[in-house]
Structure 1
Amino acid sequence: MKKSILTLTVITFITATILLSCKPKTNEVKDAQEKVAVARDNVQDAKDTLAMAKQSATEEEWRAFKNSGDSIVRINDRRIAALKLKIKNTGNNIDSAYQKNLYVMEVRNENLKVKMDAYKNGASNDWQSFKREFKHDTDEIGQALKDLTVDNKK
């Protein structure tokens, strides 16, 4: 009998210990919820800061970039016009590949104009990406126009 009472007492003690240890502590739960809320706020603040950094250039920077881009496009227009005039004045039959390349450069330059005019300096646009792509495109057209006048046939 003593053995069964002792076994019953041990089982009751173990069961009580398990039940009490599984019960969540309200202070710890509240602290964890507050930490999660603070972490969410920090993440949202970081996202907002990143969006503001990516979002737009200052008006002064945008104007300077637009003026620079417009002048590059105008220079390319003049070079294309000069090459067209050179073709007309020589009177020679320039091969069609040369004329086709000149036409492609003209279209790409027009596309740059449209791209510059269509860009809205706002929250939904990535300023750095636009600037990098525009510079790459203008450099590419400038190099192609230079290469167009080089005579590689020997």
Structure 2
Amino acid sequence: MKKTLLTLGLTAFMFGTVVTSCKPSTKEEENAQENLQDAKEEVQEAKEDLVEAKRAATAEEWQAFKDETNAAIAVNETRIAELKVKMKNTGKSIDALYEKNIDALEQKNKELKMRMDSYKNDTSADWESFKREFKYDMNELGKSLKDLTVNNKK
């Protein structure tokens, strides 16, 4: 009898444990599921914002940038032409290196102009990256033109 009672009690205890552990999801689990869904939605929105940031420039912004850079390229062409005239007008022989530097700067200016003309302002191009790199290259060319006329020999 003791054995039967002990077995029955142990069975009832195990049954109770199984029943209580198989209860439906708790409120904490439901909140976790909602938070997970919210996080997924926020990630999707962030992706959409990134795509929007990489979109093509507006027509006005593109035209203003193009006009600005074309004006800077024209200024650089004028400086290069002045350097060539100055080089020819001086009676003394100019270093071949000086002439080579002028030619290299002229070539770089032409490359920038071609790069600007060939850029397609569409959604597949990364406008911000192009603009940043192009401005950097224009600034470097301007510095090189200024540094070319500085006499570093003492």
Asked if Structure 1 and Structure 2 have the same fold, meaning a TM-score greater than 0.5 normalized by the shorter chain, the answer is yes
Residues 36-75 of structure 1: matches in 2 within 5 Å?
Answer: 36=36, 39-75=39-75
Report the alpha carbon displacement of residue 123 of structure 1 after superposing the two structures with TM: 2.1
Runs of 5+ in structure 1 lacking a partner? none
Residues 96-127 of structure 1 show CA distances to partners (whole Å, capped at 9, x for unaligned) of 22122112211211121122122222222222
Report the alpha carbon displacement of residue 74 of structure 1 after superposing the two structures with TM: 1.0
* Identity score, percent: 52
Report the alpha carbon displacement of residue 30 of structure 1 after superposing the two structures with TM: 8.6
Conserved in 2, the CA contact under 8 Å of 1:87 and 1:94? Answer: yes
Residues 15-94 of structure 1: matches in 2 within 5 Å?
Answer: 17-18=17-18, 21-22=21-22, 25=25, 36=36, 39-94=39-94
For 2:123 and 2:15, the matched residues in 1 are separated by 60
**Given the alignment of the two structures, is residue 104 of structure 1 paired with residue 104 of structure 2, yes or no?**
yes
For 1:18 and 1:7, the matched residues in 2 are separated by 16
Residues 49-107 of structure 1 show CA distances to partners (whole Å, capped at 9, x for unaligned) of 22112322221111001000011011101111111122222253211221221122112
Aligned partner of residue 54 in structure 2, secondary structure: helix
Partner of 2:138: 138
Count of matched residue positions in the alignment of Structure 1 and Structure 2: 154
TM-score (norm 1): 0.79
Report the alpha carbon displacement of residue 34 of structure 1 after superposing the two structures with TM: 6.9
Runs of 5+ in structure 2 lacking a partner? none
Partner of 2:120: 120
Counterpart of 1:61, as a letter, is: E
